[in-house]
């Protein structure tokens, strides 16, 4: 592939969302019209401070009234196109690079771009209807809607930059950028709970990202001490090639800090407490992006560092570290799922469960395990994005996130409830969905890896069964029973992205087709034997 097309394909996944964000920002600079003040209602005024009054609640306006909201689909389409073309180029020619190696694409890069693009397509396709419902309920205005679109596009750009860069310093900056952008999205509704969740998210993730920064500095120091030139001391392929020269003590401390730091953004113990609050308070499409791909992008960074660690320290170090974190996270998630009474927080704890399974697969480290982990990343992203987007519709319909107050959804809103139920079925790893194949692959790889990892895998499967039971019982409570209200009207406009996500998840479970070679090559790129 020529240098110019390669540079365009590596730049576009981050550049196109930034251009769309700029277009939204320029379009949304209009002065919002003042909201009418009803007679007999006094509004406290703070002199000199801007006052934002929500629009009057009224009948839900169709999403088509805001056609500019659909412009957000340009970015997922561009990401998917670039990911597909890069996948073809990588399989034909090997890793591709541009800008003196600053941006680089291997099979893992192409796989992650395809996952990000697909989940973004679901989230951005669901956003117009979700935001129309928020405006109709008086919880959003035109101004806050434009701000939402700008932030979501910037969020996509930051995740894509983290995926395509080969420089570990730029990787850290990109993941830190996701924290800054999504903090405003978590607090989008400006309620007390959402603002508290946003601050909690900022504080905990900043602590985690600070640990990752210290780890990155230590790896840079070890590289410079090993004689690697300053310009290449954070270049991932260079560090992998010369990892045997790195000081073991410095590398061990640096890798530990990096795993703990990026593990924070991946929802792993010990700095995981932001996840249920942030995912439950963010708008549903944002929760879909955070759970569906942000966690996986952060873990992809760990997979990059794991290859350096294995070459510098041997495989046992990261195996013990990741297996221990995976089991602790899975045990905590299973226990909290049993006690959960909030369906959005239930989905958030389910994300911790699935990320711990991916961490366990990374600890096993075989070709089968890493292939299963990457398939699990894709399947989890698809199923969880559908579940969160459907939960947003359920919240607008019922007005509550309490599981005990939601009954008879299948009778009341069959489309939304059916898609939510199928998404939870996929998350419980029922066939034909891809999570069944990936969890089976992880279990098989664990039992083949030796007695120590076999016992860890057995314990993990028992904890997964606990999580399975909790998800099944709470979802059944929500979906079944008599409807407390009449059925809703047609829901076809908001449902097509969710149906598309479930179809894709089932298709991956039936057969990978043209993605088979890409999946196996990606697993080899991160150390699969």
The pair of three-digit structure tokens given for residue 403, joined into one six-digit string: 């599981």
Q: What is the DSSP string of 220-240?
A: HHHHHHTT--GGGTTBHHHHH
Q: 248: closest CA among 311, 195, 204, 193?
A: 311
Residue 54 has pLDDT above 70, yes or no: no
pLDDT for 129 equals 86
pLDDT for 71 equals 83
Residue 193 has pLDDT above 90, yes or no: no
pLDDT digits (tens, 9 = 90+) for 351-361: 999 999 999 99
Among 249-253, 408-412, 503-507, where is mean pLDDT lowest?
408-412
pLDDT for 1 equals 63
pLDDT for 491 equals 55
| pLDDT, mean of residues 182-194 | 87
The pair of three-digit structure tokens given for residue 90, joined into one six-digit string: 């990588």
Residue 111 has pLDDT above 90, yes or no: yes
φ/ψ of 50, rounded to 5, equals -70, 140
Of residues 19 and 132, the one with the higher pLDDT is 19
Q: How many residues can be counted in the chain? A: 529
The Cα 260–Cα 211 span in angstroms is: 7
The Cα 251–Cα 384 span in angstroms is: 35
* pLDDT confidence band for 489 (50 / 70 / 90): low
* pLDDT confidence band for 219 (50 / 70 / 90): very high
pLDDT for 44 equals 39
The Cα 26–Cα 275 span in angstroms is: 32
SS3 105: strand
SS3 268: coil
* pLDDT confidence band for 435 (50 / 70 / 90): very high
* pLDDT confidence band for 25 (50 / 70 / 90): confident
* pLDDT confidence band for 327 (50 / 70 / 90): very high
| pLDDT, mean of residues 344-352 | 93
pLDDT for 40 equals 39
Residue 62 has pLDDT above 60, yes or no: no
The Cα 212–Cα 218 span in angstroms is: 10
pLDDT digits (tens, 9 = 90+) for 232-251: 999 999 999 998 899 999 99
pLDDT for 141 equals 78
Answer whether 0.85 is exceeded by the pTM.
Answer: yes
């Amino acid at each position: 592939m020529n240098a110019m097309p390669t540079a365009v394909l590596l730049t576009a996944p981050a550049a196109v969302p930034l251009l769309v964000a700029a277009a939204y920002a320029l379009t949304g600079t209009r002065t919002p019209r003042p909201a009418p003040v009803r007679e007999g209602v006094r509004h406290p005024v703070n002199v000199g401070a801007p006052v934002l009054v929500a629009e009057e609640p009224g009948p839900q306006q169709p999403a088509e009234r805001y056609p500019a909201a659909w412009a957000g689909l340009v970015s997922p389409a561009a990401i998917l196109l670039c990911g597909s073309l890069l996948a073809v180029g990588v399989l034909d020619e090997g890793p591709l690079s541009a800008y003196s190696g600053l941006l680089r694409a291997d099979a893992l890069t192409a796989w992650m771009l395809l996952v990000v693009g697909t989940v973004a397509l679901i989230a951005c396709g669901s956003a117009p209807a979700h935001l129309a419902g928020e405006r109709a309920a008086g919880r959003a205005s035109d101004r806050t809607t434009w701000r939402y679109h700008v932030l979501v596009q910037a969020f996509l750009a930051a995740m894509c930059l983290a995926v395509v860069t080969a420089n570990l310093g730029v990787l850290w900056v990109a993941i830190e950028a996701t924290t800054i952008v999504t903090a405003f999205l978590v607090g989008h509704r400006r309620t007390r709970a959402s603002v508290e969740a946003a601050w909690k998210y900022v504080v905990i993730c900043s602590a985690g990202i600070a640990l990752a920064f210290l780890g990155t500095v230590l790896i840079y120091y070890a590289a410079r001490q090993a004689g690697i030139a300053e310009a290449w001391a954070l270049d991932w392929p260079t560090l992998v090639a010369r990892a045997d020269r790195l000081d073991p003590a410095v590398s061990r401390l640096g890798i530990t800090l990096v795993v703990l730091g990026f593990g924070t953004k991946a929802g792993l113990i010990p700095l995981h407490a932001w996840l249920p609050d942030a995912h439950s308070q963010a708008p549903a499409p944002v929760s879909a992006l955070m759970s569906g791909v942000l966690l996986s992008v952060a873990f992809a960074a760990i997979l990059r560092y794991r290859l350096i660690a294995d070459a510098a320290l041997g495989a046992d170090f990261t195996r013990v570290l990741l297996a221990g974190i995976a089991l602790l996270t899975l045990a905590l998630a299973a226990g909290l799922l049993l006690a959960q009474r909030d369906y959005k927080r239930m989905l958030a704890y389910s994300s911790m469960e699935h990320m711990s399974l991916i961490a366990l697969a990374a600890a096993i480290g075989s070709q089968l395990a890493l292939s299963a982990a990457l398939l699990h990343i894709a399947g989890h992203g698809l199923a969880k994005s559908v579940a969160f987007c459907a939960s947003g519709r359920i919240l607008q319909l019922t007005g509550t996130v309490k599981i005990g107050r939601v009954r008879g959804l299948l009778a009341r809103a069959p489309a939304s409830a059916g898609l939510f139920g199928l998404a939870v079925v996929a998350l419980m790893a029922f066939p034909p969905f891809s999570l069944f194949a990936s969890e089976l692959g992880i279990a098989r790889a664990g039992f083949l890896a030796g007695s120590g990892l076999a016992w860890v895998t057995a314990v993990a499967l028992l904890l997964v069964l606990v999580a399975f039971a909790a998800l099944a019982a709470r979802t059944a409570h929500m979906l079944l029973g008599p409807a407390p209200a009449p059925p809703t009207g047609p829901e076809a406009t908001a449902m097509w992205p969710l149906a598309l996500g479930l179809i894709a998840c089932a298709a991956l479970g039936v057969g990978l087709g043209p993605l088979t070679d890409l999946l196996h090559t990606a697993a080899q790129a991160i150390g699969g034997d």
